[in-house]
Structure 1
Amino acid sequence: MVKSDFKTGLIFSAFGKYSTFFINILINSVLSRILTPEDYGIVTIVQIFLLFFDMLADMGFGPAVIQNRTLDDDDIGVIFKFSILVSIVLGLIFAALGQPVNLFYGEDVFVPIFIILGFEIFFYGLLIVPRAILLKKKNFKSVNVVEVVANIAYGAVAIALALNNFNYYSIIFARVIKILVMFIFFYTRTKINYKTKFRKEPIIKIWAFARNQFLFNFINYFSRNLDNILIGRYINPTALAFYNKSYQTSIYPNQLLTGILAPVIQPIMSEYEDRKHIIKDVYLRSVRLLGDIGIPLSVFCYFVGKDIILFVYGNQWTESVLVFQILAISIWAQMIAASTGAFYQSANRTDLLLISGIQSTILNVVAIIYGVYLGTIEAVAIMVVLSFTTNFVINNYLLMYKAFDSDYKGVIAALSKPVILGLIQVAIFVFMPDWTDNHFLNLLIKGPLFVIGIFVGLVVTNQLKEIISIVRD
């Protein structure tokens, strides 16, 4: 049953994530050649605040609705009504923040932007509960199809407006359209009874779980976004655009792989909350799978970073190359760490998830502040990599020792073969020159060599037959 649910979930999740990935790559490639780094600097500053308010609108209710097995239709209706009130308040507050942000960053462009995106906050808050219901029912097909459609709508609007000289507003308006499309679909598919009488009991049912999840998200927000806040304020918005472009590119593997696993893990594994050994076994399998791809990919992106950045975004993004190469070193750790939250949730240990978030934030804040103090985006990238690596070690200690009552041997064993795959990639690329000045041709040459290296590594480590067997099952 677990294998069947996982296979179904992964198929639709893969469809959604891979489609969204390639759509977003295409959109970013086009927009990066139309809009300037200065435009992206403004957008990145806005996204800092947008992510924070999206997190507030979520409140941890999405995972809590998925995890709780006692909620009935009336309970869901009450929780949805509560989310409406929260969304209205947050949307109005966000709309009023434009002038304070102007003062903080010394700009005069943010007032109309924040008013427009107040609608995005409102509709995002409304889609949390309907989306969680669809995931709880394991309706992965509907969730992923609508996310693909919404991203296509986003791209069409953004590119059309950019071509008509809307500058950074092209992305702002497109975000509102994307969230509106998602809300309309999710809501119409779930038929929530919003007319039910408001009661506090349904909120209490999910509050303990949601509280820890929300506090983790709250803390993790500052851990993940302090670099953007400080670079934009103390270096400059254009440098922020170069840094953010590198950072976003470095997390694409998360969106491709961990982004497929994470939405599927909790809805399925939450049924095994009382059998931690099953959850642990699935986690260690995911560590090896993500390591098999993530460690070689980190090596590849480090050596081929220049070709990746300049081919995808264009020559005006040269200053992003070195930052991306530095961040690439931590791709494998980010991929594995990004999946751990769903396993904490499945084991009903959001208390440990919160502890993990607190220690992660402390390390990241110290690292980022020191990097900004050094005064370059490259220094910030180095400190972020050091922090991510340290957090990976601590996070797995909490998960293995505290959540699963186990030890580190399983993680070390799971990573041993992926490390061999990474060393094979080093042997391939360490002495390889650029064949031409054409970045696309370089990628055409080096990409197949990367795939061949993966294949050889799987054969050498005796994993190829096992992977084929898993796929067939």
Structure 2
Amino acid sequence: MSDSLKEKTIKGVVWSGLERFSTAGVNFIIGLIIARILSPDEYGIIAMLAIFMAISQSIIDSGFSNALIRKNDRKEIDFSTTLYFNVVISTLIYGILYLISPFIASFYGIQELESIIKVVGTTLIWGALSIVQQSILTINVDFKTQMIVSLFAAILSGIIGIIMAMSGYGVWALVGQMVTVSIFRTIALWLVAKWRPITGFSKESFKNLFGYGSKILMAGILETIYRNLYSIIIGKYYQANALGLYHRGEQFASYAASNITGVIQRVTFPVMSSLQDDTEMLNKAFIKTLRTTCFFVFPIMTYLFMVSEPLVKLILTDKWIGCVPIIQILCISYMWYPVHILNLNILQVSGRSDLFFKIEVIKKIIGLAILFGSLPFGIIIMCWGRVLYCGLELFINMYYTNHIVKTSCIQQLRHTIPFLLYCIVITIAAALFQPYISSDILKLFINFIFIVLVWLLVVQRIENLYIRDFLLILNRK
């Protein structure tokens, strides 16, 4: 990787990281404030909508965003075609959601869901209006602007959500936050992106973009259905309280892993796309990214596993204590999330969207078997089923990635297993002194200091050129 490309990548990681974690931090704090006011039941109602909104969003994008970013010879007509398609399809999907909202409410037995769906569904249209602007900023690796936009929208919508919660609006406080963040973000992106559609819709451009994007779309829908199927089943066969606990536990477990991986993925996808014709350089970039991401994600997930109980007690109160075992189990699964995502990234960069879709079909058949096999045994066993599925899909992803970058499962594990072993040792050591600490605040603090000190020693011993490059470039500024 050339120095200029390397520097561009690292700067992108810095700004993407700031954007992700500043926004996620604001949302997390706002979420905690609202969670202390609302009940798990009210969060459970919103969680019931997740699959419908997620599938709708996948259809609206249709993989066009990734197709635009990956395409090296993109033209103005490609951007305009994407915008017009997004607006038309989002309007149609909103109309469908509007019409079926009574049936969704009847399915869950909660009449209020009908009006909630009709209001929350408008976010699909607002989001469709900004997909092109966000893609342009990502192509230019301009995550600084995206950070400003995201932070602006998160703060304003968060304030509105808190005010509504304190005013007794209940679940509608969450609805208000969801709708306003979409509106503020779209308006801000149109103001800063400086792009306006100046051409019409092109069938040729649509065919080209959809040829790649359609496979990503179908794979994305499969992943979305599977990921949200847990919420649907828990919401249907268990109480809303149980779904609220599961949903909050899922949020805690996924927070660090998904945000760190998201930062790396957003930056490396356009960068790796520029290396798609150079297999050797692509392989080196993949391994370096894999090691760096695991270096940050593994210790964070280990820390969350160790302190989940005192953390929940302190920031969510005892009424949420039931989500602690869910957090701990899902931490094991999300620890491997970056390895899973980066392998899929390679398939997209290489243009093998057909293979990407076939792999998703195989994995989801396995995942559904595990889900329905664990269903009769309760939510905890269902979470352990997710861990089993994570391990199986990891090896499937690694197997197919090897055909592109020539990095086998054994080679990938050789780069990641050392981090896992360090985490196991840290967890065992922490468990020995944990019973002697009575204060929840002290548990958080002591475990944090312990894991940071151990990890700093790891940094001294592991040869990690990417981190050294990162520090050198920061020192130049």
* Interval of TM-score (by shorter of Structure 1 and Structure 2): over 0.9
**How does 1:220-259 map onto structure 2 within 5 Å?**
220-259=223-262
Among candidates 267, 289, 297, match of residue 294 of structure 1? 297
CA-to-aligned-CA distance 1:314-338 (integer Å, 9 cap, x gap): 2110110111111112222123213
Q: Following the alignment from structure 1 to structure 2, what is the Cα–Cα distance between the partners of residues 162 and 69?
A: 47
Residues 406 and 322 of structure 1: CA distance in aligned 2, closer, same or farther (over 3 Å)? closer
Q: Post-superposition shift, 1:341?
A: 3.1
CA-to-aligned-CA distance 1:200-229 (integer Å, 9 cap, x gap): 111012111111111110111122111111
Residues 257 and 297, structure 2, Cα contact 8 Å, conserved in 1: no
Normalized against structure 1, the TM-score is what? Answer: 0.94
In structure 2, the partner of 1:5 is 8
Q: Post-superposition shift, 1:191?
A: 4.3
What is the letter of the counterpart of residue 384 of structure 1?
R
Q: Following the alignment from structure 1 to structure 2, what is the Cα–Cα distance between the partners of residues 437 and 24?
A: 30
Q: Following the alignment from structure 2 to structure 1, what is the Cα–Cα distance between the partners of residues 197 and 301?
A: 47
> How large is the RMSD of aligned CA atoms in angstroms?
1.9
Among candidates 87, 111, 114, match of residue 114 of structure 2? 111
Using the TM superposition, name which of 440-449 and 335-344 deviates more: 335-344
Residues 464 and 80 of structure 1: CA distance in aligned 2, closer, same or farther (over 3 Å)? closer
Q: Following the alignment from structure 1 to structure 2, what is the Cα–Cα distance between the partners of residues 466 and 181?
A: 36
Residues 249 and 327, structure 2, Cα contact 8 Å, conserved in 1: yes
CA-to-aligned-CA distance 1:414-442 (integer Å, 9 cap, x gap): 11431342233134213122455542232
* Unmatched runs of 5 consecutive residues or more in structure 2: none
**Are 1:173 and 2:150 counterparts?**
no
What is the letter of the counterpart of residue 467 of structure 2?
I
CA-to-aligned-CA distance 1:153-173 (integer Å, 9 cap, x gap): 221111111000111111111
Residues 78 and 290 of structure 1: CA distance in aligned 2, closer, same or farther (over 3 Å)? closer
In structure 1, the partner of 2:451 is 450
In structure 2, the partner of 1:160 is 163
**How does 1:116-155 map onto structure 2 within 5 Å?**
116-155=119-158
**How does 1:71-82 map onto structure 2 within 5 Å?**
71-82=74-85
Q: Post-superposition shift, 1:406?
A: 3.9
Residues 68 and 78, structure 2, Cα contact 8 Å, conserved in 1: no
In structure 1, the partner of 2:427 is 426
Q: Post-superposition shift, 1:411?
A: 0.5
Q: Post-superposition shift, 1:19?
A: 0.4
CA-to-aligned-CA distance 1:50-72 (integer Å, 9 cap, x gap): 11211121111111111112322
In structure 1, the partner of 2:310 is 307
Q: Following the alignment from structure 2 to structure 1, what is the Cα–Cα distance between the partners of residues 91 and 330?
A: 38
Residues 169 and 458 of structure 1: CA distance in aligned 2, closer, same or farther (over 3 Å)? same
Using the TM superposition, name which of 114-123 and 348-357 deviates more: 348-357
* Unmatched runs of 5 consecutive residues or more in structure 1: none
Q: Give the 3-state SS of the residue equivalent to 1:166 in structure 2.
A: coil
Q: Following the alignment from structure 2 to structure 1, what is the Cα–Cα distance between the partners of residues 51 and 441?
A: 32
Residues 294 and 137 of structure 1: CA distance in aligned 2, closer, same or farther (over 3 Å)? closer
CA-to-aligned-CA distance 1:251-280 (integer Å, 9 cap, x gap): 112233112101111111111111122222
Q: Following the alignment from structure 1 to structure 2, what is the Cα–Cα distance between the partners of residues 120 and 284?
A: 38
Which structure 1 residue ranges, 4+ long, deviate > 6 Å from structure 2? none
CA-to-aligned-CA distance 1:270-291 (integer Å, 9 cap, x gap): 1111112222212212222232
Q: Give the 3-state SS of the residue equivalent to 2:130 in structure 1.
A: helix
CA-to-aligned-CA distance 1:379-414 (integer Å, 9 cap, x gap): 1111111111111111111112x2223423421221
Residues 254 and 338, structure 1, Cα contact 8 Å, conserved in 2: no
In structure 2, the partner of 1:417 is 418
Q: Post-superposition shift, 1:192?
A: 4.1
In structure 1, the partner of 2:71 is 68
Residues 234 and 242, structure 2, Cα contact 8 Å, conserved in 1: yes
Percent identity reads 20
Q: Following the alignment from structure 1 to structure 2, what is the Cα–Cα distance between the partners of residues 299 and 70?
A: 43
Using the TM superposition, name which of 261-270 and 77-86 deviates more: 77-86
**How does 1:34-433 map onto structure 2 within 5 Å?**
34-194=37-197, 196-374=199-377, 376-400=378-402, 402-433=403-434
Q: Following the alignment from structure 1 to structure 2, what is the Cα–Cα distance between the partners of residues 35 and 437?
A: 29
Residues 78 and 199, structure 1, Cα contact 8 Å, conserved in 2: yes
Q: Post-superposition shift, 1:76?
A: 1.7
Residues 462 and 135 of structure 1: CA distance in aligned 2, closer, same or farther (over 3 Å)? closer
Residues 2 and 230 of structure 1: CA distance in aligned 2, closer, same or farther (over 3 Å)? same
Q: Following the alignment from structure 1 to structure 2, what is the Cα–Cα distance between the partners of residues 66 and 329?
A: 32
Q: Following the alignment from structure 2 to structure 1, what is the Cα–Cα distance between the partners of residues 212 and 269?
A: 13
Q: Following the alignment from structure 1 to structure 2, what is the Cα–Cα distance between the partners of residues 271 and 424?
A: 40
What is the letter of the counterpart of residue 462 of structure 2?
N
Residues 261 and 29 of structure 1: CA distance in aligned 2, closer, same or farther (over 3 Å)? same
Residues 351 and 315 of structure 1: CA distance in aligned 2, closer, same or farther (over 3 Å)? same
Q: Give the 3-state SS of the residue equivalent to 2:73 in structure 1.
A: coil
Residues 23 and 147, structure 2, Cα contact 8 Å, conserved in 1: no
